[in-house]
């Protein structure tokens, strides 16, 4: 939608809300004898007893109207609350007026909760104002409830905006309605009292009190950024993310016990070798990353003290999973993005004498081989000044490959813990020497490992299923995204049957390639040649945009548009939470696009994930390969 049309649409929404508000206000003022009553209050010299007699003419329609006004000013966040509150105090007195406003706010808050649950962040994009408040940081703060109460005290923040924010934190209705109703109570009392004072006090006193309050509100309004910054710092100070989580030994032991039983039932054996005994602490442990469940294999060797794991932030968007990971001592990291929060947590773990465990490749291996590591990791190791250990896995990729459908029976996973650098060695070595040492230790090739274990045979009813999500080009017809799989068979939609995958991950029938790494390298080289031959090379696809979930899921639908990856970087043109946006990311900022095999490609923008689901889901690996080639060879 063009920007000018969108602005017109927003203006119409605001105008409609103002008209409704004005209509309800007029309905109240001009209905029956209400106008005469209000005139007598302002212009006639009436005693309090005479005013009480006047109030008796109000019936239930008037109460409902004011309750509706109060509810409307909550839902329509741009409408001020004070007119309805002062009118309630003026018309019904302080007690009844206060109850009417509270009832209206209760109704409005409930409507917002339902809207937030029904449409989630689609509405927040319209209702959120430009505030100098880090709402995401406040949501993560252990003092979130107190800060919500403080927001109700500050001027220039409508009730409805605070309600949308509170509902977006994922709290349950009972807690939400209690917090938001109580939070609005002080300002409701003030607004109703202002209206009530006009009929029970001398005009001079009323005007003086009103003037003092206006001056105070004006002062707070113009100093709001100062107070907002204070709230931001307070939230930062009490952020749950500011403290490296403590490991629950009980939870870890229970989970580890049941997972080991589960692995055994799935036919996966784990062989552990500890060459150093109990690691010194604090320390850093680096692991290669061939399987989603490597952290459990690492737990085989790191028992005391329990390790703190660095985990992709995606898995912390689900409330239940976040609580479990936190109890296990894990904390989030935005992969391939600047993440000072994660860096601070890493430092805190080491300062507290913990074992910091990370998979520095930062993504699952696509083909069972070592993936590269971002240069900043080596600088961090250099500055840490603590012992660096490694856990080298073998066979973990074949047990549960990135593209696979379930565990393979007959799997053997080897895990070896050893020392890599002492603090003295780190101090003496250059960053380049540290890099060489880490890569030499963590280098792996699962097919080379398998050759050293001729006794291993893998069994699965769906042995080859999922390979079409990393092998996207047919070697016979060279058509893209025509590969399909069923059980252990591999087909091309154009050519028919191609080959099968045997019990040692090798292709049968004298196929063109011996294993999947050769096929993958061949198609990657084709892509490399395509990029080199075309200075205007670009990948383009319609995509569904998904953003962080609201606690129940990892992600949620947030829009749709077109993604383009070229030498200029990644561009997304489409909608995001109901707004038209154009998002651009340079190749230097992207480094690598993460991908889920046959699902999506993704990148982190700060603490927010941009989760793109392409129209052809099998193409997700193409975006990963292209981002790597463009960044490393063509930028």
Residue 212 CB neighbour total at 10 angstroms: 10
Q: Judge if 159 and 278 occupy the same domain.
A: no
Query: Where do the H-state alpha helices sit in 44-134?
Result: 48-55, 60-75, 82-119, 121-127
Q: Judge if 291 and 431 occupy the same domain.
A: yes
Regions of the chain short of the pLDDT cut 70: 1-66, 68-69, 72-73, 75-93, 117-143, 154-159, 169-170, 194-245
Q: State which residues form the domain around 497.
A: 467-531
Nearest by Cα to 607 from 139, 289, 171: 139
Give me 141's structure tokens: 């703060």
pLDDT at 221: 59
Q: Judge if 280 and 377 occupy the same domain.
A: yes
Q: How far apart are CA 167 and CA 160, in angstroms?
A: 10
Q: What is the per-residue pLDDT across 70-128, written as a single tens digit (0 to 9) for each?
A: 776 676 655 556 666 666 666 666 777 778 788 878 887 787 777 776 655 544 444 44
Give me 408's structure tokens: 């393979």
DSSP annotation of 530:
H
Q: Judge if 27 and 107 occupy the same domain.
A: yes
Q: Judge if 565 and 508 occupy the same domain.
A: no
Q: Judge if 487 and 435 occupy the same domain.
A: no
Query: Where do the H-state alpha helices sit in 201-293?
Result: 203-222, 224-237, 249-265
The secondary element (H helix, E strand) that includes residue 344 is: helix 340-351
DSSP 569-604: EEEEEEEETTEEEEEEE-HHHHSS-EEETTTEEEEE
In a domain, 31, yes or no: yes
For the chain, how many structural domains are there in total?
4
pLDDT at 7: 47
Query: Residues 359, 360, 365, 370: is their CA dihedral positive or negative?
Result: negative
Nearest by Cα to 625 from 539, 527, 535: 527
CA 250 to chain centre: 28
Domain-terminating residue out of 399, 421, 451: 451
Q: What is the per-residue pLDDT across 553-591, written as a single tens digit (0 to 9) for each?
A: 899 999 999 999 999 999 999 999 889 999 999 998 889
Find the radius of gyration of the CA atoms of the chain. Answer: 31
pTM of the model: 0.70
Long-range contacts of 452-458 (CB under 8 A, 24+ apart): 453/395, 453/412, 456/395, 456/410, 456/411, 456/412, 456/504, 457/410, 457/503, 457/504, 458/398, 458/408, 458/409, 458/410, 458/411, 458/503, 458/504, 458/505
Distances in Å between the alpha carbon of 452 and those of 302, 442, 456?
26, 17, 10
SS3 551: strand
Q: Judge if 547 and 495 occupy the same domain.
A: no
In a domain, 318, yes or no: yes
Q: Judge if 289 and 390 occupy the same domain.
A: yes
In a domain, 460, yes or no: no
């Amino acid at each position: 939608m063009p920007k000018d049309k969108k602005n017109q649409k927003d203006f119409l929404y605001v105008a409609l809300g103002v008209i409704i508000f004005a209509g309800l206000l007029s309905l109240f003022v001009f209905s029956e004898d209400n106008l005469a009553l209000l005139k007598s209050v302002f212009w006639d010299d009436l005693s309090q007893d005479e005013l009480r007699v006047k109030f008796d003419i109000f019936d239930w329609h008037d109460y409902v109207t004011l309750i509706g006004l109060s509810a409307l000013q909550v839902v329509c966040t741009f409408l001020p609350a004070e007119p309805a509150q002062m009118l309630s105090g003026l018309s019904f007195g302080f007690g009844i007026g206060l109850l009417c406003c509270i009832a209206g706010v209760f109704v409005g808050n409930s409507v917002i909760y339902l809207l937030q649950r029904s449409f989630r962040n689609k509405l927040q994009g319209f209702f959120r104002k430009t505030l100098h408040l880090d709402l995401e940081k406040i949501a993560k703060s252990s003092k979130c409830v107190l800060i919500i109460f403080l927001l109700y005290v500050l001027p220039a923040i409508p009730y409805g905006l605070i309600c949308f924010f509170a509902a977006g934190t994922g709290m349950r209705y009972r807690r939400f309605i209690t917090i938001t109703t109580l939070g609005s109570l002080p300002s409701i009392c003030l607004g109703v009292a202002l209206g009530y004072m006009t009929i029970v006090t001398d005009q001079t006193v009323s005007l003086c009190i009103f003037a003092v309050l206006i001056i105070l509100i004006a002062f707070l309004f113009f100093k709001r950024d100062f107070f907002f910054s204070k709230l931001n710092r307070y939230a930062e100070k009490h952020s749950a993310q500011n403290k490296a989580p403590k490991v629950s030994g009980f939870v870890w032991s229970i989970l580890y016990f049941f997972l080991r039983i589960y692995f055994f039932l799935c036919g996966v054996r784990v062989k552990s070798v500890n060459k150093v005994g109990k690691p010194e602490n604090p320390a850093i442990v680096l692991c290669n990353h061939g399987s989603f469940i490597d952290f459990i294999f690492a737990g085989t060797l790191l028992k005391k003290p329990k390790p703190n794991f660095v985990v992709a932030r995606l898995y912390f968007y689900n409330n239940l999973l976040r609580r479990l990971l936190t109890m296990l001592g894990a904390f989030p990291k935005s992969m391939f993005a600047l993440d000072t929060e994660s860096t601070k947590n890493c430092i805190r773990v080491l300062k507290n004498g913990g074992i910091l465990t990370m998979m520095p490749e930062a993504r699952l291996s696509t083909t069972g081989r070592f993936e590269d590591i971002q240069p900043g990791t080596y600088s961090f190791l250099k500055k840490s000044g603590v012992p660096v250990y490694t856990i080298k896995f073998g066979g973990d990729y074949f047990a549960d490959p990135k593209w696979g459908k379930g565990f393979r029976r007959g799997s053997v996973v080897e895990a070896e813990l050893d020392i890599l650098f002492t603090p003295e060695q780190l101090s003496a070595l250059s960053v380049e020497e540290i890099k060489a040492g880490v890569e030499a230790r963590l280098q792996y090739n699962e097919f080379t490992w398998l050759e050293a274990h001729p006794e291993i045979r893998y069994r699965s009813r769906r042995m080859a299923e999922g390979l079409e999500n990393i092998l996207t080009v047919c070697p016979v017809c060279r058509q893209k995204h025509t590969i399909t799989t069923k059980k252990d068979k591999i087909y091309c939609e154009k050519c028919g049957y191609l080959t099968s995958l045997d019990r040692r991950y090798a292709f049968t029938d004298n196929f063109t390639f011996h294993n999947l790494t050769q096929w993958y390298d061949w198609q990657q080289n084709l892509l490399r040649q395509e990029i080199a031959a075309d200075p205007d090379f670009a990948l383009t696809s319609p995509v569904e945009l998904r953003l962080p979930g609201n606690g129940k899921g990892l992600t949620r639908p947030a829009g749709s548009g077109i993604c383009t990856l070229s030498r200029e970087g990644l561009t997304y043109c489409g909608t995001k939470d109901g707004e038209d946006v154009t998002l651009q990311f340079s190749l230097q900022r992207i480094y690598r696009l993460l991908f889920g095999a046959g699902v999506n490609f993704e990148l982190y923008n700060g603490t927010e994930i941009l989760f793109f689901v392409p129209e052809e889901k099998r193409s997700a690996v193409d975006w990963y390969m292209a981002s790597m080639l463009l960044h490393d060879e063509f930028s």
